[in-house]
Amino acid sequence: MATVTTQASVAGFRPCVSRTRFLTGSLGKLNRKVSIRQSSSSYASFKVEAKKGEWLPGLTSPAYLNGSLPGDNGFDPLGLAEDPENLKWFVQAELVNGRWAMLGVAGMLLPEVLTSAGILNVPKWYDAGKSDYFASSSTLFVIEFILFHYVEIRRWQDIKNPGSVNQDPIFKSYSLPPNEVGYPGGIFNPLNFAPTLEAKEKEIANGRLAMLAFLGFIVQHNVTGKGPFDNLVQHISDPWHNTIIQTFKRKNQRNKKGFTSSNPTRPVTRTRSFSPPSSAASLADRELSIDELSLFEDLRISPENPNPRSFPHSVKQQCWEKAEKIKGRDPERWRRDPLGNILFRKLVGCPGCLCHDYDHIVPYSKGGKSTLENCQVLQATVNRSKGNRTEMSKSDLIQKSAYCRVSGRDMDLLELSAYGNVRHGQDSGGCKIQ
């Protein structure tokens, strides 16, 4: 309840109630209470309090939102909760979604922070689905669907008929104590917190904030390709150049460049040979030109391969831990394996394998825009497509690599272009598929 306390002279103070006009043009009294308290001096203190159920001063709350519910500030501009049955359902839906959002936000932030601090070593939340588990993703989906379906049916029954699911249907000796819908208590409240109105208000407020934060994380990753903690660290490292304005500006420039490059009137050559520099080190020792930067500004492997070769994250991590640190490079981002291949930390969690014991894949390197001009993109495509076969015909190779379009995301790809392993054919100077 918002409270404002001030003082005014008794002789000059005259309480009044004025009428205000909101956006709709309707007139209504300000929903305020004014109280006067005589002080010891010649001044009187008065307090203005916003009544419960007023999310915007001067706007009358709907009659069905009378302030009796936790978090009720009279906000329902579309009138969705006018039906009492709908209101009952929306109350429980917001409560459950808020709880899931709080767990989700914590599950996004904590692993990212702890991994960045070196305490844990787990994939980022947006790469978690790429990891290998004890069962396939389709199997896990079916199991989760069945389990959640059962739980949600029981919750729906409790909303329709409060207390009807307190008795455990399997373990007959266990039952929940009488409770309010949405606050089951018992095993779900191990610390025995009392469901006071203040606690309910705090839970709803934090749940609403978490739902907005969750949505913000999704949008943020879609725009920047990074998580919230990585973006925060990037902003703190250079607060004048890493802001939301610069982020959208860079994304807009990339979109414009992608539109220009996709113009059908522009000739595209896919068969000319391309010879990368003979030494990756020579590229690393000099500044990249504007033309070279444009080659890697939009690099990424398109996820159109339905069955990429994949190995457990633990296997990839063992490969990373055994890799040699590179002098002058960040040891948490760049390493060299026993075969001399450069490993990039961000790609360890990607589909495919980055370990030399199986198939070493460096998806990015200096090369042309087309697939056949980029040795490492082509090599990665072959490794993911050939399966158990040891060789592929030229026609199969072209067919398998035709969908492998490249585009880029951040400055890390410029480093990949400098440190990626580009293999040369001894005769033509082109790509050598191994």
Is 235 marked as a binding-site residue? yes
- What CATH number matches the domain at 86-224, 1.10.3460.10, 3.40.190.10, 1.10.1200.10, 3.40.50.300? 1.10.3460.10
Residue type at 72 in one-letter notation: D
pLDDT in tens, the chain (434 residues): 444 444 443 333 344 444 433 334 443 333 444 444 554 455 555 554 545 556 777 778 888 888 888 888 888 888 888 888 889 889 999 999 999 999 999 999 998 899 888 888 888 888 887 777 888 888 999 999 999 999 889 888 888 888 888 888 787 777 877 778 888 877 788 888 878 888 899 999 999 999 999 999 999 888 888 888 888 888 888 778 777 777 666 666 666 555 555 454 444 444 333 333 333 333 333 344 444 444 444 444 334 443 344 455 666 677 677 778 877 666 776 777 666 666 666 555 544 434 333 333 333 333 344 444 444 444 555 555 545 454 555 555 545 444 434 333 333 443 444 444 433 334 433 333 33
Q: Can you list the pairs that 398-405 forms with residues at least 24 positions away whose Cβ atoms lie under 8 Å?
A: 398/372, 401/371, 401/372, 401/377, 402/371, 403/302, 403/304, 403/305, 404/301, 404/302, 404/304, 404/371, 404/377, 404/378, 404/380, 405/302, 405/371
Q: Is 94 annotated as a binding residue?
A: yes
Helix (H, G, I), strand (E, B) or coil at 343: strand
Domain spans of the chain, in order of start: 86-224, 313-419
- State pLDDT tens for residues 312-352: 566 667 767 777 887 766 677 677 766 666 666 655 554 44
Residue 220 in marked binding region: yes
Was 176 annotated as part of a binding site? yes
Do residues 304 and 403 make contact, with C-beta atoms less than 8 angstroms apart? yes
Angle at 213 between CA 120 and CA 145, to 5 degrees: 75
- pLDDT, tens digit, for every residue of 203-231? 999 999 999 999 999 998 888 888 888 88
Q: Which of 272, 222, 229 is nearest to 247 (CA)?
A: 222
Cα–Cα distance between 268 and 193 in angstroms, integer? 67
* pTM of the predicted protein model: 0.48
208 labelled as ligand-binding? Answer: yes
Please give the single-letter amino acid code of residue 202: K
